[in-house]
Structure 1
Amino acid sequence: MTPPIPRPALQNTVIGFKPDPPDAIVVEGPEPPPPEPPPPPPRPEPRLTDSPAFLLLVWTLIGLVVGIAFTP
């Protein structure tokens, strides 16, 4: 007759229950440097139509055309 197979004790065991893992070991030391921020996006090249001088020129030409058109 074969001896019985030893089995682990099933006391206080819930099927599907896993005990909490042991706490992580905290190592004292210098803090890691913060991650570098991403570089800023490249600035778009300025357009001629965005400049105040261009707007002044456009409105001056519009004023001249309207002034000449409505001059008796």
Structure 2
Amino acid sequence: MMMTHTDKYIVPFCGAESFFGTNPIAFGVPTLQHKPIILDMATSNAAFGKVLKARESGNKSPVIGV
């Protein structure tokens, strides 16, 4: 299991300022007979890395479309 905290970039529902980080969470569970169970997620609508990548390439943000 892996967790981390990031700087505040996420505005809470009905909020006016950023308050939460994207706080990625990942874990993996090995199995004997099947593929392992792996979860890799962000606690925001989109991972901040995807937003930065879109900004650098000049594409629209995956969250707000700008």
TM over 0.5: no
Query: Highest CA radius of gyration, 1 or 2?
Result: 1
Q: TM-score range by the shorter chain?
A: under 0.3
Q: Which structure has greater helix proportion?
A: 1
Q: Which has the higher contact order (CA 8 A, sep 6+)?
A: 2
Q: Which structure has greater strand proportion?
A: 2
